[in-house]
Amino acid sequence: MKKVKIGIIGTGNISHAHMEGYNMLDNVEYCAACDLDKKRVDAFAEKYGFKRTYTDFNEMLKNEELDAVSVCTWNNSHASASIAALKAGCNVLCEKPMAMNAREAEEMVKTSLETGKLLMVGFVRRFGSDTRIVKDFIDNGHLGDIYYAKASYLRRCGNPGGWFSDIKRSGGGSLIDLGVHVIDLVRYLMGRPKAVAVTGVTYSNIGPRAHIKAYPRYKASDYSEYSDVEDMAAAMIRFDNGAVLSVETSFSLNLKEDTGNIELFGTKAGARLEPLEIYSEMDGYLVDITPKVSKEKDWFSAIFKNEIAHFVDCVANGTECLSPAEDGLELMKILDAVYESAKTQREVIIK
């Protein structure tokens, strides 16, 4: 069995989630890893068994013959690293968000088409068992036509700091980091309708809350207390099939506890993820349906393992990609529109 030669660009926290997936596969070979931080990439290579390390991805792509690359850099390098890798003949799995904006994403899609190489976007929530089950219900017509959805990803005190809260490197705050997950997941479950109009707001009223004591939180590997990104964002997104999504996200918000919720409402039934439930009617009675499924011990690890296995399968066997670059571009158009609407205080039409 020919092994897929793997390279990693960016060896921060999320790259280790990718490696959990690659470590489950027998048909991969770890060739090269790259990071701006020499000590970090060397430690990464030693931990996972990569043969060579680099601090410049252009140098790595020039010297190595790779089949596939995971791009796990800061957001502001997603486009440049992915485009360089595609031009070097590599298939690419780029972490979400796909880019800093739709203009960069368009260039990435164009390069993928020109080179004939796969560009997959890291919409990892598509690879959860709950997503698969709800999609089965939807695809088999049990929800009917989905016309409204609600999605939230709210943290009370969850600004990771570091590059996440530096707009020059991240492109934004809770919307581009957290909102991208739930907006994409709803759009995917709805059948990938095109967004046509957005009304959005963003707020920066609380800040990173670095002074809060005795509260556990995820922190970026380059953590600092600086922040110039939004604390909170909310939007109404209208799609070309008439459906509407209401979404809200936050890094910092005065609520009781962190929440994550997705609800879909159809003409025959509704569905909720986390916990997974279906709401319908039967023989004149309202019924709640709870699918009986086995739960992963580590949900976060499981979805990344599923995503990486799919990516390698696409590269090795030409399997159709579940999260193609075109979907990443559509998401960037939505995010751009939310930020523009918040700035102009007007509805934004997406063309």
Q: How far apart are CA 223 and CA 13, in angstroms?
A: 12
Q: Residue 274 domain-assigned?
A: yes
Do 58 and 190 share a structural domain?
no
- Whether 309 is in a domain gets the answer no
In 184-220, which positions are buried (b, 16+ CB within 10 angstroms) versus exposed (e)?
bbbbbbbeebebebbbbebbeebebbbeeeeeebeeb
Kindly state whether residues 27 and 156 are assigned to the same domain. no
Do residue 147 and residue 81 come from a single domain?
no
Residue 308 covered by a domain? no
Domain shared by 132 and 281, yes or no: yes
Tell me, what amino acid is at 132? R
Do 237 and 277 fall into the same domain?
yes
CA 52/CA 64 separation, integer angstroms: 9
Let me know whether 45 and 101 are in one domain: yes
Domain hosting residue 90, numbered range: 4-122
Q: What pLDDT tens digit does each residue of the chain (351 aa) get?
A: 689 999 999 999 999 999 999 999 999 999 999 999 999 999 999 999 999 999 999 999 999 999 999 999 999 999 999 999 999 999 999 999 999 999 999 999 999 999 999 999 999 999 999 999 999 999 999 999 999 999 999 999 999 999 999 999 999 999 999 999 999 999 999 999 999 999 999 999 999 999 999 998 889 988 999 999 999 999 999 999 999 999 999 999 999 999 999 999 999 999 999 889 999 999 999 999 999 887 777 888 999 999 999 999 999 999 999 999 999 999 999 999 999 999 999 999 998
Non-local (6+) Cβ contacts of 33 within 8 A are 7, 8, 9, 11, 41, 44, 45, 48, 50, 52, 53, 54
List phi, psi (to 5°) of 176: -80, -20
Strand partners, 151: 247, 262
Regarding whether 131 and 116 lie in a shared domain, the answer is no
- φ/ψ region of 86 (left if φ > 0, alpha if ψ in -120 to 50, else beta) reads alpha
Q: Are residues 16 and 141 in the same domain?
A: no
Q: Say if residue 151 is in the same domain as residue 24.
A: no
Residues 91, 216: one domain?
no
Q: Kindly state whether residues 150 and 251 are assigned to the same domain.
A: yes
Which of residues 90, 122, 154 is at a domain's end? 122
Claim to verify: residue 158 and residue 277 sit in the same structural domain: yes
CA distance 131 to 126: 6
| Of the candidates 112, 103, 131, the residue with the CA atom closest to the CA atom of residue 71 | 112
Q: Is residue 320 part of a domain?
A: no
Q: What is the CATH number of the domain that holds 284?
A: 3.30.360.10
Domain presence at residue 314:
no
Total number of domains constituting the chain: 2
- CATH code of the domain containing 11: 3.40.50.720
In three-state secondary structure terms, 226 is coil
